A and B are shown apart, each in its own frame.
Chain A
């Protein structure tokens, strides 16, 4: 496996969707190629950082308007 193939299979590798033989081949390449190893690690970290992040807080006024709208909807349904 060459560097180009590692990059094309990167997402499948991170998502655990590679067949065992291809995964082994890719991991063997990572042992020998520092650059690909770095790309794999940094891309994984990128996904993890975004996954764990709370990018936006829910502003209180937005939350209040949402619950007001819901209560209006509840009363519409009751009547």
Chain B
């Protein structure tokens, strides 16, 4: 299936990218995915000059990922939509302030994460603080280990796997979930995650370890050979 980005790109021409640019090629959807990253700065520059089509292209390119991020943090569709919409509108309004010392996408993720966190704090004021420290001396050693067998992810249909992952991440405590989503799903660096959340690098590392171990433990129920599901 073709992604919306390249379908949209195919239907339009991007004069600011020039006729020889890969996105203006007859079949841009066949291009390697790295093209999307390589031309990001050109789209940003065009958007800064007032080319709204360039900004719309950036939105089309990242809207799905940003919705996944805001949904993963808030676990509430209404909040996720509001957070995503505000993130894109704010990034447009403040585009001139974007210094381009990081990728546009990373900057956007940080704005979207903050929008999502604001809504999560409102909805769950007592469950989510990010105030340090959460780290305790709890025993992290997993117990009653069992082999998951070869390729457990292939034993489930795609929809079934989505349900499992959704349930598992939904039950992870927000403090851990947010760190896991930013570091492992959105692939922000530890430092970027710490800056986005306003916590220390050691706190990010500690919560990431706990999040990974908790998710492993919860997936274990589904993935162990001859498991309960």
Interface residues of A (CB under 8 A from B): 3-4, 7-8, 10-12, 14-15, 35, 38-39, 41-43, 45-47, 49-51, 53-59, 62-63, 65-67, 69-70, 73-74
- Contact residue among A4, A11, A55, A67 (Cβ-Cβ distance under 8 Å from B68): A55
- Contact residue among A35, A50, A55, A69 (Cβ-Cβ distance under 8 Å from B215): A50
**B103 touches A (CB below 8 Å):** no
* CA–CA, A63 and B84, complex, Å: 10
Q: Which of B195-224 contact A (CB under 8 A)?
A: 205, 208-209, 212-213, 215-216, 219-220, 223
- On whether the beta carbons of A50 and B185 are closer than 8 Å, the reply is yes
Chain B residue nearest to A7 (CB atoms) is B140
- On whether the beta carbons of B216 and A67 are closer than 8 Å, the reply is no
B contact face: mostly helix, strand, loop, or mixed = helix
Of the stretches B9-17, B38-46, B146-154, the one at the interface is: B146-154
Given A54-B68, A70-B92: A47 and B213 interface contact (C-beta under 8 Å): no
- On whether the beta carbons of A73 and B213 are closer than 8 Å, the reply is no
* CA–CA, A69 and B187, complex, Å: 28
Given A53-B165, A65-B85, A70-B59: A43 and B147 interface contact (C-beta under 8 Å): no
* CA–CA, A58 and B147, complex, Å: 35
* CA–CA, A9 and B148, complex, Å: 22
- On whether the beta carbons of B68 and A12 are closer than 8 Å, the reply is no
- On whether the beta carbons of A74 and B184 are closer than 8 Å, the reply is no
B interface residues, tally (CB under 8 Å): 47
Question: Scoring B residues 81 to 98 as 1 if CB is less than 8 Å from chain A, else 0, what string do you get?
Answer: 100110011001100000
- Contact residue among A38, A49, A50, A58 (Cβ-Cβ distance under 8 Å from B64): A58
- On whether the beta carbons of B88 and A49 are closer than 8 Å, the reply is no
Q: Which of B107-139 contact A (CB under 8 A)?
A: none
Residues of B within 8 A of A70 (CB): 55-56, 59, 88-89, 92
Interface residues of B (CB under 8 A from A): 52, 55-56, 59, 63-64, 67-68, 71-72, 77, 80-81, 84-85, 88-89, 92-93, 140-142, 145, 147-148, 152-153, 161-162, 165-166, 169, 180, 184-185, 187, 190, 205, 208-209, 212-213, 215-216, 219-220, 223
- On whether the beta carbons of A55 and B63 are closer than 8 Å, the reply is no
* CA–CA, A56 and B153, complex, Å: 17
For the complex formed, measure the closest distance between the CB of A38 and the CB atoms of chain B, giving whole angstroms. Answer: 5
Residues of A within 8 A of B220 (CB): 42
Chain A residue nearest to B207 (CB atoms) is A11
- On whether the beta carbons of B216 and A8 are closer than 8 Å, the reply is no
Residues of A within 8 A of B92 (CB): 70, 73
Chain B residue nearest to A10 (CB atoms) is B209
- On whether the beta carbons of A66 and B152 are closer than 8 Å, the reply is no
